[in-house]
Structure 1
Amino acid sequence: MSFTSGPSRWPDVWLATAARGVSTFGDFLAASTLTLALQSAGAGGLAVSGLLLAATLPLVALAPLTGRLADRVDSRVLLVAAGLAQTGVCLALAHAGHPGLVIVLVGLLATGLAVTQPVLSALVPAMVRAEDLPRASALNQSAGTLGTLAGPALAGLLVGGFGTRPPLLVAAGTYLALVAAGLLIRTRRGGRRSAPAVAVGAAAAPPAWRLRHDPLLLAMVASVAGVFGAVGAINVIEVFFIRETLGSSTTVYGLVTGAWTLGVLAGAWLFAPVARRLHRDGTMVRASLAMLGACCLMVLASAAVPTALPLVPIWLVGGVFNGGTNVFNNVLLARRVPEAARGRAFAVFGAGIQGAAMVGFLAGGLLLEAAEPRPLVAGCGLAGLLAVAAVSLPLRRAARAVPQPPAPGAASGAPASDAGSGVPASGGASDGPGSGAASADAGLATPTTAR
Structure 2
Amino acid sequence: MPGIAQEPHGGRMSGLFRTRLRRAAVDTRPLRTPAYRRLLLGQGVSFIGFQLTAVAVSAQVYAITGSSLWVGLLGPANLIPLVVFGLWGGAVADAVERRRLLIIGSLVAWSASLALLAHAWSGLGNVYFILAAVAVQSTGFAVTSPVRYAIIPRLLPTEQVAAANTLNFLAGSIGTVAGPLLAGVVLARGGYATAYLLDALLFAAVLYAAVRLPRLAPLGDIARPGLRSVADGLRYIAGRPIVMMSFVVDIIAMAFAMPRALYPELTADRFGGSPVAFGWLSASLAIGSVAAGLFSGWVGRVRRQGAGLVVVIALWGLTVAAAGVAGPLWLVVALLAAGGAFDLVSAVWRQTILQTYAPDEMRGRLQGVFMVVVAGGPRLGDLRAGATAGAFGLVPAWAGGGLICAVLVLAAGLAVPAFRRYQATG
Is it true that 1:20 corresponds to 2:43 in the alignment?
A: yes
Q: Which of residues 257, 260, 266 is equivalent to 1:231?
A: 257
Work out the CA distance in 1 between the residues paired with 2:325 and 2:188.
27
User: Against the structure 1 CA distance between its residues 383 and 174, is the aligned structure 2 distance closer, same or farther, given a 3 Å change threshold?
Assistant: same
SS at match of 2:92: helix
Q: Could you tell me how far 1:242 is from its partner in structure 2?
A: 4.8
| Distance in 1 of aligned mates of 2:52 and 2:397 | 28
CA 385–99 in structure 1, closer or farther in 2 if over 3 Å, else same = farther
How much has 1:77 moved relative to structure 2?
1.8
Query: Structure 1 residues 256 and 155, CA, compared in 2 at 3 Å: closer, same or farther?
Result: farther
Residues 133 and 331, structure 1, Cα contact 8 Å, conserved in 2: yes
Q: CA deviation at 1:386?
A: 0.7
Letter in 2 for 1:353: V
TM-score (norm 1): 0.73
Q: CA deviation at 1:271?
A: 4.1
Within 5 A, what are the aligned runs for 1:32-431? 32-36=55-59, 43-44=67-68, 46-94=69-117, 95=119, 97-186=125-214, 188-189=215-216, 193-195=217-219, 203-205=220-222, 210-232=236-258, 234-238=259-263, 241-242=266-267, 246=271, 247-249=273-275, 254=279, 256-278=281-303, 280=304, 284-304=305-325, 310-362=331-383, 375-376=393-394, 379-400=397-418, 419=425
Residue 5 (structure 2) aligns with: none
CA separation of 1:164/1:379 partners in 2, compared to 1, >3 Å: closer, same or farther?
farther
Secondary structure of the 1:55 match is: helix
C-alpha displacement at 1:147, in angstroms?
1.5
Q: Alignment partner of 1:73: what SS?
A: coil
Residue 8 and residue 238 in structure 1: after superposition, are their counterparts in 2 closer, same or farther (change >3 A)?
closer
Q: Distance in 2 between matches of 1:23 and 1:35?
A: 19
Q: Check 1:239–1:56 CA distance in 2 against 1; reply closer, same or farther (3 A cut).
A: farther
CA deviation map 1:34-62 (0-9, x unaligned): 34556788644x54443223222222122
1:398 maps to amino acid: V
What whole-Å deviation, never above 9, does each CA across 1:226-271 have from its counterpart, x for those lacking one? 3312334x4444356558974334x775565334213212323544
Shift of 1:221: 0.6
TM-score normalized by the length of structure 2: 0.77
CA deviations on 1:282-317 (whole Å, 9 max, x unpaired) are xx2232233223333343344456675554423322
**Counterpart Cα distance in 2 of 1:81 and 1:101:** 22
- Contact 1:25–1:148 under 8 Å retained in 2: yes
Distance 1:105 1:56 in 2: 13
Change (3 A) 1:300 1:331: same
Q: Aligned pair in 2 of structure 1 residues 158, 401: CA closer, same or farther (>3 Å)?
A: closer
Query: Is the 2:324–2:398 contact (alpha carbons within 8 Å) kept by the matching residues of 1?
Result: no
State the AA in 2 paired with 1:194: P
| 1:264/1:322 contact within 8 Å kept | yes
Mark the runs of 5 or more structure 1 residues left unpaired by the alignment: 1-6, 196-202, 406-417, 421-451
Query: In structure 2, do the counterparts of structure 1 residues 161 and 243 end up closer, same or farther at CA, with 3 Å as the change threshold?
Result: farther
**Kindly tell me: are residues 404 and 217 of structure 1, through their superposed partners in 2, closer, same or farther at Cα, counting changes over 3 Å?**
closer
Structure with higher Rg: it is 2
Q: Which moved more, 1:80-89 or 1:113-122?
A: 80-89
Q: Give me the identity figure in percent.
A: 25
SS of 1:185's equivalent? coil
Give the superposed CA RMSD.
Answer: 3.3
- Which of the two has greater helix per residue? 2
Cα-to-partner distance string for 1:94-148 (whole Å, 9 max, x where unaligned): 4262333322221211111101111110111111111122222222222222222
SS in 2 for 1:72: coil
Taking the aligned partners of 1:37 and 1:307, their CA distance within structure 2 comes to 33
Using the alignment, how far apart are the partners of 2:363 and 2:307 within structure 1? 22
> How far did 1:17 drift?
0.6
CA distance in 2, matches of 1:230, 1:403: 25
Contact conserved, 2:50 with 2:199, CA < 8 A, in 1? yes
Number of aligned residue pairs: give it. 381
Residue 9 of structure 2 is matched in structure 1 by: none
* Alignment check: 8 A CA contact 1:54 1:103 kept: yes
2:388–2:397 contact (8 Å) kept in structure 1:
no
Is the 2:48–2:178 contact (alpha carbons within 8 Å) kept by the matching residues of 1?
A: yes
